[in-house]
């Protein structure tokens, strides 16, 4: 059982930066007026993952006992393999910015870059501040509190539901 706790901790540590990283990544690809919708759709995948993942995990733990491995070990292997493969594929094929996307046609890339540049020019009052100044901002602290409460509820339900 100690192995399960260690592996679960390592999984949590490995995925801790995923959500903030995706939010930053999306800012490189979407105009400001679409960011909220895009992040909301991405966030909506979390409860969907509970709906699909919980029964799948239970089924794997109950039905897979090959090679003298218990079900929880097979759950980690079978559910972790697609994530590892997807991570490698994303690293190899996803471009950081639209200008580097080889999978976009030149006219699509030019259109997207022009739209993003127009969006940036349309918001001249946006100012960039340092990390520590941003963390001390009352608005950031308030939104962090809201996110903390959201996560407590989300994770509380996710970890403790049958």
What are the tens digits of pLDDT across the range 28-62?
999 888 888 999 998 888 888 888 888 998 999 89
Q: Is the pTM of this model over 0.85?
A: no
What are the tens digits of pLDDT across the range 95-153?
989 999 988 999 999 999 999 999 888 887 777 788 899 889 999 999 999 988 988 88
What is d(CA 38, CA 27) in angstroms, rounded to the nearest whole number?
9
- 3-class state of residue 154 by DSSP: helix
| pLDDT greater than 90 at residue 11 | no
What is d(CA 20, CA 43) in angstroms, rounded to the nearest whole number?
11
Pick the closest to residue 7 from 68, 77, 71 (CA basis): 77
Q: Would you state the structure tokens that stand for residue 56, as one six-digit string?
A: 């799948």
């Amino acid at each position: 059982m100690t192995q399960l706790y260690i592996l679960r901790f390592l999984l949590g540590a490995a995925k801790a930066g995923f959500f903030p990283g995706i939010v930053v990544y999306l800012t490189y690809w979407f105009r400001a007026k679409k960011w909220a919708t895009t992040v909301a759709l991405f966030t909506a995948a979390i409860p969907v993952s509970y709906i699909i993942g919980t029964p799948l995990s239970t089924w794997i733990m109950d039905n897979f006992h090959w090679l003298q491995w218990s079900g929880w070990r097979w759950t980690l292997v079978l559910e972790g393999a697609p994530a590892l493969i997807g991570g490698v594929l994303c690293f190899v094929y996803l471009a950081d910015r639209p200008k580097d996307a080889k999978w976009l046609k030149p006219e699509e890339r030019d259109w997207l870059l022009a739209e993003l540049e127009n969006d940036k020019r349309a918001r001249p009052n946006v100012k960039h501040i340092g990390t520590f100044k941003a963390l001390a901002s009352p608005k950031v602290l308030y939104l962090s509190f809201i996110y903390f409460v959201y996560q407590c509820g989300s994770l509380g339900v996710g970890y403790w539901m049958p």
